């Protein structure tokens, strides 16, 4: 969190401009993960310098195996044959160390050697695939995962094979059991509430008696308005409510202020932030998991800390089951900078642990909207370590047209990004805040995940606001991956 304007060292990261050649040395753009801020402009995120932390509970490190006793067996014998065999084994060991060292060592340190490259693979579909017909054609089911969305006021909208577009679902014939089935299909554990909402659409969908594992397979096209114009309102999770009545900016926050904020630790060091969106899922940034070092893609190397506001006294961590990086993520431009983490088991909600709301599919917050960002990042650009306490600061949404001006980011901000901060500088996210939330409150007094901390030039500089992954633009991908990895 950056909340002042002072003398600062050179920026610490580089990305290429999407429509231009890569910048020269020194023309750098700062990704907000951890790394050496002064050594060279190009780097991959690295763990922050270790700090003294106390964990309430932690996994037991692997035990050292006892050295076997040789006695008079052949393993203790010398001679040229033994020396030759030793040299061969040494050569093999060196080759294995060079080829697989990062992954194997990281896996050993974390107590596992599990690596899931398939989590980064794109789905494969046959040529006769039919989307949203209730039958899975693609290997990972992507043909049936972009068929449900939410409009304003949690209005349920579904696309079927017969409709070809998203339509409201009539409340007549709808029940609580169907609400639960729809929410579990999306990756949630249950439904929170369902009720009526007025909708005068001329084309709608109605519930049928058809048997299907998906909601789209149970609906049929109805070429008229819903009876009494009552459509389905569905909220899958109780979300977006602070447990504290006060909002703090640019200073330490208390438990419950931002109960969806998480801290992601790689090999016992804070690397990035994240946001809890469901009991089993955390949204964070793709650049926190650099593909050049496969150890970052080992789920067991990571720990997820929820409901905490200090790195000094950590609770028991949640474990990661899957690391799902966006397939189109571009490490140079930071386009599609988003990752979904599937946890090994659900987290229990409390006053200090709550999910944030995902926005409606068409929800945008206009320029000038006062939002907030939080994290454990540095409080000053170029600092050696992050804040041990959770910090939050208010930032304003900035029009992308303004953010893409030559004097600001000169066309680098894509439709999958948004800017927030102040053009005059001063308030900003910073190094170590990567993956954390940009959150805005809507008229319903609920907080919505609007952005994911991604990159920027320095921290708090004039005409260099923070750039965040645009959650509204990436929402179909989030729901799609939640469905494919649902509990």
Q: Give the pair of three-digit tokens for residue 63.
A: 């035990």
CA–CA distance, 445 with 135 (Å, rounded to integer): 38
Q: Is residue 396 annotated as part of the catalytic site, yes or no?
A: no
| Spacing of C-alpha 181 from chain mean position | 25
Phi-psi region of 426 (alpha: psi -120 to 50; beta: other; left: phi over 0): left
* Catalytic hit among 230, 257, 337, 433: 337
Residue 187 · residue 281 · CB < 8 Å:
yes
CA–CA distance, 449 with 57 (Å, rounded to integer): 30
CA–CA distance, 471 with 339 (Å, rounded to integer): 11
Q: Is residue 434 annotated as part of the catalytic site, yes or no?
A: yes
CA–CA distance, 1 with 256 (Å, rounded to integer): 19
Q: Which of 301, 422, 416 is nearest to 368 (CA)?
A: 422
* Catalytic hit among 222, 265, 270, 287: 287
> CA dist 381 to 36, 236, 240, 276, 397, Å?
12, 40, 30, 27, 22
* Catalytic hit among 163, 434, 472, 480: 434
Q: Is residue 212 annotated as part of the catalytic site, yes or no?
A: no
Cβ neighbours of residue 447 closer than 8 Å, sequence gap 6 or more: 240, 241, 242, 260, 356, 357, 439, 440, 441
Known catalytic residues are: 287, 337, 434
């Amino acid at each position: 969190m950056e909340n002042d304007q002072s003398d600062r060292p050179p920026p610490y990261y580089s990305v290429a401009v999407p429509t231009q050649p890569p910048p020269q040395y020194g023309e750098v753009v700062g990704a907000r993960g951890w790394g050496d801020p002064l050594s060279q402009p190009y780097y991959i995120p690295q763990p922050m310098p270790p700090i003294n932390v106390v964990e309430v509970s932690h996994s037991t490190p692997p035990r050292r195996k006892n050295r076997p006793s040789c006695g008079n067996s052949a393993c203790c014998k010398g001679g040229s044959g033994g020396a030759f065999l030793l040299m061969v084994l040494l050569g093999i060991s060196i080759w294995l160390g060079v080829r697989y060292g990062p992954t194997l060592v990281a896996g050993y340190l974390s107590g596992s050697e599990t690596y899931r490259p398939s989590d980064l693979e794109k789905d494969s579909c046959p040529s006769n695939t039919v989307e949203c017909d209730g039958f899975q054609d693609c290997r990972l089911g992507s043909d049936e995962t972009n068929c449900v969305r939410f409009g304003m006021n949690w209005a349920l909208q579904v696309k079927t094979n017969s409709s070809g577009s998203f339509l409201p679902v009539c409340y007549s014939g709808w029940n609580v059991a169907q609400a639960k089935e729809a929410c579990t299909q999306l990756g949630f554990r249950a439904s929170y509430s369902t009720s009526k909402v007025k909708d005068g659409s001329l084309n709608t969908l109605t519930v049928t008696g058809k048997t299907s594992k998906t909601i789209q397979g149970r609906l049929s096209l109805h070429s008229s308005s819903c009876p009494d114009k009552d459509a389905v309102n569905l909220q899958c999770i109780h979300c977006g409510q602070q447990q504290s009545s006060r909002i703090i900016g640019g200073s330490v926050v208390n438990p419950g202020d931002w109960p969806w904020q998480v801290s992601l630790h790689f090999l016992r060091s804070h690397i990035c932030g994240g946001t809890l969106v469901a009991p089993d899922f955390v949204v964070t940034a793709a650049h926190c998991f650099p593909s050049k070092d496969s150890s970052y893609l080992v789920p067991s190397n990571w720990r997820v800390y929820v409901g905490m506001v200090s790195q000094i006294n950590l609770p028991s961590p949640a474990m990661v089951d899957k690391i799902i990086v966006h397939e189109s993520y571009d490490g140079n431009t930071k386009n599609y900078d988003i990752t979904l983490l599937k946890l090994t088991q659900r987290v229990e909600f409390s006053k200090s642990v709550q999910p944030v709301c995902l926005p409606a599919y068409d929800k945008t917050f206009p320029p000038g909207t006062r939002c907030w960002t939080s994290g454990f990042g540095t409080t000053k650009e170029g600092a050696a370590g992050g804040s041990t306490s959770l910090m939050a600061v208010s930032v304003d949404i900035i029009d992308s047209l303004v953010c893409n001006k030559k004097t600001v980011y000169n066309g680098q901000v894509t439709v999958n990004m948004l800017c927030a901060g102040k053009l005059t500088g001063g308030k900003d996210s910073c190094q170590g805040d990567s993956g954390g939330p940009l959150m805005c409150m809507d008229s319903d007094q609920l907080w919505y995940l609007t952005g994911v901390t991604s990159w920027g030039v320095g921290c708090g500089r004039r005409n260099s606001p923070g750039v965040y992954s645009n959650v509204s633009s990436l929402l179909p991908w989030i729901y799609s991956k939640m469905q494919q990895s649902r509990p």
